[in-house]
């Protein structure tokens, strides 16, 4: 095990909250991922009197952010507080939340009545059997390799004008382009400030877009960015270009490449989809996948989904899982009558 793997293992073995005991026997559903999508899916299932276990590694995507925004009645709530409340609400209805890292999830032999079964194994060797699985592991944001950029991620380096835009309004904002997907956010951030600069950073920008940017007063700089510069207090101060010039900026908008967190899920053989901003799992609107018995919800299938949308997706998946379980329960109950 290399140093990075040791650090990752240590991070998931130290629980940021009290972890429940692992349920014994076969549970109705295992939810892999304890963010908004996973917890809301678990909440729906628990309220339907389903036995549900959430496996949560404790590393939510929005951990660097100070608050969740755009979420009705909860705008401004710290991400950690939102998840704390969510875990407690799942537990209130009999659900279990386990801190741990899934290292494998795969189909198992069906039950005697033909119902689906899955085996989920954790990094510490514990395992459990589930009838259905909801994958809500989220994505990992992969930032451009520009020195000084990552240290400001989630604060002065942001990706979503709806999540962070109001908080950076009227600041000198720069858009550090990562490809064609950066053009749309530039127009959205322009709504928030009169002082917007678009750094193409060696990505293509066609003449029509340049004309449109000029009409909105968006300055375009083609010289590559070599460094993000901080002031003496550690705050973002600007970017240094390849010619040595420093362009003063207080905020940078970046569209990262978003990679679905798939580690440990290879045995499920979930279909993937390639999007302009990254690779995710493919699913229908209710979270169903091509793999019977497995649903996905939240950023792991829709990287653009905010917290509210992810929670809604988790609810839809939970509803559909309960429906499928109800059918399976009825089929099992019917079998003795068919053999009389």
Q: In this model, does residue 238 exceed pLDDT 60?
A: yes
Q: Which pLDDT does position 194 carry in this prediction?
A: 98
CA 282, CA 290: separation in Å to the nearest integer?
A: 8
pLDDT tens for 173-220 read 999 999 999 999 999 999 999 999 999 999 999 999 999 999 999 999
Are the beta carbons of 105 and 116 closer than 8 angstroms? Answer: no
Note the pLDDT of residue 17: 85
User: What is the average per-residue pLDDT within 133-149?
Assistant: 96
- Identify the pLDDT of residue 283: 94
Q: How far apart are CA 46 and CA 197, in angstroms?
A: 48
What's the mean pLDDT in 227-245? 97
Residue 12 has pLDDT above 50, yes or no: no
Q: What is the pLDDT of residues 290-327, one digit of tens each?
A: 999 999 999 999 998 999 999 999 999 999 999 999 99
Q: Is the pLDDT of residue 11 over 50?
A: no
How does residue 4 score in pLDDT terms, banded at 50, 70 and 90?
very low
pLDDT band at residue 339, thresholds of 50, 70 and 90? Answer: low
Is residue 267 predicted with pLDDT exceeding 90?
A: yes
Is the pLDDT score of 27 beyond 70? Answer: yes
Distance CA 121, CA 18 (A): 20
| Side-chain half-sphere CA neighbours of 133 within 13 A | 32
Give first-to-last CA distance, the chain, whole Å.
Answer: 58
Q: How does pLDDT run across 83-123, given as a tens digit for each residue?
A: 999 999 999 999 999 999 999 999 999 999 999 999 999 99
In 3D space, the residue among 60, 105, 42 whose CA is nearest the CA of residue 267 turns out to be 105
**Whether pLDDT at 10 is above 70:** no
Q: Give me 225's structure tokens.
A: 């960015």
Q: What domains, with CATH codes, occur in the chain?
A: 3-140+257-338 (3.50.50.60), 144-253 (3.50.50.60)
Mean pLDDT of 272-284: 88
Residue 76 has pLDDT above 60, yes or no: yes
What confidence tier does 335 reach under pLDDT thresholds 50, 70, 90? confident
The predicted pLDDT at position 9 comes to 47
Residue 336 has pLDDT above 90, yes or no: no
Tokens of 41: 């899916």
pTM tops 0.85, yes or no: yes
How far is CA 264 from each of CA 32, 106, 323, rounded to the nearest angstrom? 10, 9, 27
**pLDDT tens per residue, range 156-165:** 999 999 999 9
Q: How confident is the model at residue 340 (pLDDT cuts 50, 70, 90)?
A: low
Residues 213-220: contacts with CB within 8 Å, 24+ apart? 213/186, 216/187, 216/190, 217/190, 218/186, 218/190
pLDDT given at position 56: 96
């Amino acid at each position: 095990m290399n140093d990075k793997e040791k650090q990752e293992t240590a991070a998931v073995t130290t629980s940021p909250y009290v972890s429940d005991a692992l349920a014994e026997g076969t549970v109705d559903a295992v939810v892999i991922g304890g963010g908004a999508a996973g917890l809301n899916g678990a909440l729906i299932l628990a309220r339907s009197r389903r036995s549900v276990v959430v496996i949560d590694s404790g590393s939510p995507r929005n951990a660097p952010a100070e608050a969740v925004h755009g979420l009705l009645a909860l705008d401004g709530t710290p991400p950690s507080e939102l998840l704390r409340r969510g875990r407690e609400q799942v537990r209130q209805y009999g659900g279990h939340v386990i801190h741990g890292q899934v290292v494998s999830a795969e189909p198992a032999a069906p039950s005697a009545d033909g119902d689906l079964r899955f085996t989920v194994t954790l990094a510490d060797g514990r395992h459990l059997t589930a009838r259905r699985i909801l994958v809500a592991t989220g994505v990992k944001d992969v930032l451009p390799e520009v020195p000084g950029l990552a240290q400001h991620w989630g604060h002065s380096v942001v990706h979503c004008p709806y999540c962070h835009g109001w908080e950076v309004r009227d600041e000198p904002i720069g858009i550090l382009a990562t490809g064609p997907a950066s053009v749309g956010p530039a127009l959205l951030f322009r709504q928030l400030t009169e002082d917007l600069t678009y750094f193409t950073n060696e990505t293509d920008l066609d003449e029509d877009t340049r004309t449109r940017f000029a009409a909105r007063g968006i300055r375009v700089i083609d010289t590559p960015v070599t460094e993000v510069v901080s002031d003496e207090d550690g705050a973002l101060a600007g970017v240094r270009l390849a010619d040595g010039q420093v362009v003063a900026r207080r905020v940078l908008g970046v569209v990262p490449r978003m990679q679905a967190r798939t580690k440990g899920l290879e045995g499920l053989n979930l279909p993937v989809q390639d999007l302009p901003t990254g690779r995710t799992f493919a699913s229908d609107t209710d979270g169903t996948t091509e793999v019977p018995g497995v649903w996905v919800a939240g950023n792991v299938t829709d990287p653009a989904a905010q917290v509210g949308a992810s929670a809604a997706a988790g609810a839809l998946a939970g509803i559909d899982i309960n429906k499928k379980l109800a059918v399976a329960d009825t089929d099992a109950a019917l079998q003795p009558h068919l053999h009389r």
